[in-house]
A and B are shown apart, each in its own frame.
Chain A
Amino acid sequence: MIKSLDPRVTRSEIDLNNSIDPLKDLDQWETYEAFHQKKRGEQHIHVGIVHAPNPEMALLFAKDQYGRRGITANIWVVKTAHIFMTEYDDQDIFETTPEKIYREAGGYKVMEKINKYRKETKISK
Chain B
Amino acid sequence: MYGNAYIDPNEKSNSITDGEDIQKLNAFESRISNGEKIEPKDWMPKEYRKQLVRMIEQHAHSEIIGALPEGTWITRAPGFRRKLALMAKVQDEVGHAQLLYSAAETLGKSREAMINDLITGKSKYSNVFNYPAYTWADACIIAWLIDAGAIINQVANAKGSYGPYCRALDRICVEESFHLKYGHDNVVTLATGSKIQREMVQAALNRWWPPIMHFFGPSDKISLHTEILMKWKVKMATNDDMRQQFLNMYVPKIWDLGLTVPDSKLMKNNENKWEYTEPDWDEFKRVINGGGPCNAERLAVRRNAEERGRWVRQALLAKDSKYLIPLA
Contacts and interface: CB of A to CB of B under 8 A. Distances in A.
B326 A49 contact: yes
B75 interface: yes
B174 to A, nearest CB: 9
Interface of A: 1-2, 4-9, 12, 14-20, 22-31, 33, 46-51, 53-54, 57, 64-65, 68-69, 80-81, 83, 85, 87-89
A17 B301 CA distance: 10
B324 A17 contact: no
A50 B98 contact: yes
B273 interface: no
Interface in B91-132: 91, 95, 98-99, 102, 105, 110-112, 115-116, 119-120, 132
A5 B134 CA distance: 7
Contacts of B1: none
B317 interface: yes
A24 B306 CA distance: 12
B300 A16 contact: yes
A6 to B, nearest CB: 5
Q: Give the dominant DSSP class at A's interface.
A: loop
Contacts of B323: 25-26, 30-31
Interface in B301-326: 301, 303-304, 306-307, 310, 313-314, 316-318, 321-326
A25 B111 CA distance: 9
B41 A80 contact: no
Contacts of B328: 33, 46, 48
16 contacts: A1-B296, A2-B293, A5-B72, A8-B304, A9-B300, A18-B307, A19-B303, A20-B307, A23-B115, A26-B317, A29-B317, A29-B321, A30-B323, A31-B326, A50-B98, A69-B175
Nearest to B304: A14
Given A26-B321, A29-B321, A33-B326, A6 B297 contact: yes
B324 A81 contact: yes
Given A25-B110, A48-B99, A16 B296 contact: yes
A72 B284 CA distance: 44
B297 A57 contact: no
B203 to A, nearest CB: 15
Contacts of B306: 20, 23
A8 B171 CA distance: 30
Contacts of A54: 316, 318
A20 B301 contact: no
A6 B301 contact: yes
Contacts of B72: 5-8
Nearest to A20: B303
B133 interface: yes
Contacts of B71: 6, 8
B140 to A, nearest CB: 15
A93 B171 CA distance: 31
B199 interface: no
A27 B310 contact: yes
B323 to A, nearest CB: 5
Q: Which of B88, B294, B326 has the most CB of A within 10 A?
A: B326
B256 interface: no
A114 to B, nearest CB: 41
A33 B167 CA distance: 14
B111 A28 contact: yes
